[in-house]
């Protein structure tokens, strides 16, 4: 049996401290028939030079240099040049388990699926936290059931980089150039066209949370892209699967609260239109959330926020933003 080729696309931008660990984790994959596509997106540090040096060590590495266009543009550029039957994505400051692509491909082949997805470990400076820590699982879902899992946000992380996708599917979907939280937009487009997906509980992707990442940087108006992506998802759910409205309510509330928490770190945040927009929405859905099956953490957060915003900010700080998970 001929082993199918997997193309792994790695956008590279000013990551000289992290790049080698990322690429070595791909070189050491137990599944050997892969092409590693490094897209140097106009780096101004030594990343581009490092890409060329790494390519000299392994002929499976292909390097492309382009003008800076952002993460989405670099991923799209890589997809266009990928020759594999399957496509995966890895961010250049992260790394993967040595068995990641062997396990993801095996799951696809066992279930004759179009995409497989594993779970994730968040890597912080001094600790690691598994996104999922329940019982082991491997099961196939259709598009509707995948949407349900995505909305529940318990076993599906929702990022591009914990997936392996058939090339014919991956080449139909573009990442939104100019947007941040691009994976949220991308996931919805995948949901619209996928038919067979297999989910596995193995935590095979190591997501490094570093200073300056979306999850740690101060709020800017561009963070409202996340709100836009969730609003798009809500429209899709309402038009196609209104039976999931209750799940959508929780997912949207968590997303809004996540961005709201970033806004609270700013000075004079109450003058921002974004603050007022999000606060108005959270106030309007608090009653529905309290009498729904939403998580206790979300209910507590909204109760505190409605009672006293200062108390909410205090608790948020004391819990290191973990009062809710978005």
Domain ranges of the chain: 6-208, 221-318
Residue 94 burial by Cβ neighbours in a 10 Å radius (0-12, 13-18, 19+): buried
Element (H, E) at 134: none
Q: Span 190-212, mean pLDDT?
A: 93
- What is the pLDDT at residue 218? 83
- What is the pLDDT at residue 322? 59
Residue identified by tokens 């959508």 is 248
Question: DSSP letter string over 149-196?
Answer: HHHHTSS----GGGEEEEHHHHTT----TT-SSHHHHHHHHHHHH---
- What is the pLDDT at residue 319? 80
pTM of the model: 0.93
CB 6 within 8 A of CB 34: yes
Residue 320 has pLDDT above 80, yes or no: no
Instruction: Classify domain 6-208 at the CATH superfamily level.
Output: Spore Coat Polysaccharide Biosynthesis Protein SpsA; Chain A (3.90.550.10)
- What is the pLDDT at residue 324? 64
- pLDDT band per the 50, 70, 90 thresholds, residue 85: very high
Q: Span 200-225, mean pLDDT?
A: 84
Residue 211 has pLDDT above 80, yes or no: no
For helices 296-307 and 309-318, give the axis angle rounded to 10 degrees. 140
- pLDDT band per the 50, 70, 90 thresholds, residue 174: very high
Write out the two tokens for 319: 């819990």
- What is the pLDDT at residue 60? 98
- pLDDT band per the 50, 70, 90 thresholds, residue 323: low
């Amino acid at each position: 049996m001929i082993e199918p080729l997997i193309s792994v696309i790695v956008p590279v931008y000013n990551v000289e401290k992290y790049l080698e660990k990322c690429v070595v984790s791909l070189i050491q994959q137990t599944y050997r028939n892969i092409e590693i596509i490094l897209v140097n997106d106009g780096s101004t540090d030594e990343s581009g030079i490092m890409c060329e040096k790494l390519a000299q060590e392994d002929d499976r590495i292909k390097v492309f240099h382009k003008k800076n266009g952002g993460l989405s543009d670099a991923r799209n550029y890589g997809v266009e040049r990928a020759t594999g039957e399957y496509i995966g994505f890895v961010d250049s400051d992260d790394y993967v388990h040595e068995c990641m692509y062997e396990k993801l491909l095996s799951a696809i082949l066992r279930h004759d699926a179009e995409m497989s997805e594993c779970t994730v470990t968040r890597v912080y400076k001094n600790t690691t936290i598994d996104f999922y820590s329940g019982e082991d699982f491997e099961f196939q879902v259709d598009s509707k059931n995948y949407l349900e899992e995505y909305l529940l946000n318990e076993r599906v992380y929702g990022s591009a980089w914990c997936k392996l996708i058939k090339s014919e599917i991956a080449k139909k979907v573009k990442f939104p150039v100019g947007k941040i939280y691009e994976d949220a937009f991308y996931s919805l487009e995948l949901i619209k066209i996928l038919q067979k997906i297999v989910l596995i509980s193995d935590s095979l992707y190591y997501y490094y949370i570093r200073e300056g990442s979306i999850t740690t940087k101060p709020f800017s108006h561009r963070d409202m892209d996340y709100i836009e992506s969730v609003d798009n998802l809500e429209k899709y759910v309402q038009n196609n699967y209104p039976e999931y409205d209750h799940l959508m309510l929780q997912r949207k509330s968590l997303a809004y609260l996540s961005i709201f928490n970033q806004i609270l770190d700013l000075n004079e945040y109450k003058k921002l239109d974004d603050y007022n927009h999000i606060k108005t929405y959270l106030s309007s859905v608090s009653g529905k959330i309290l009498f729904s099956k939403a998580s206790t953490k979300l209910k507590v957060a909204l109760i505190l926020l409605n009672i006293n915003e200062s108390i909410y900010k205090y608790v948020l700080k004391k819990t290191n933003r973990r009062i809710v998970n978005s």
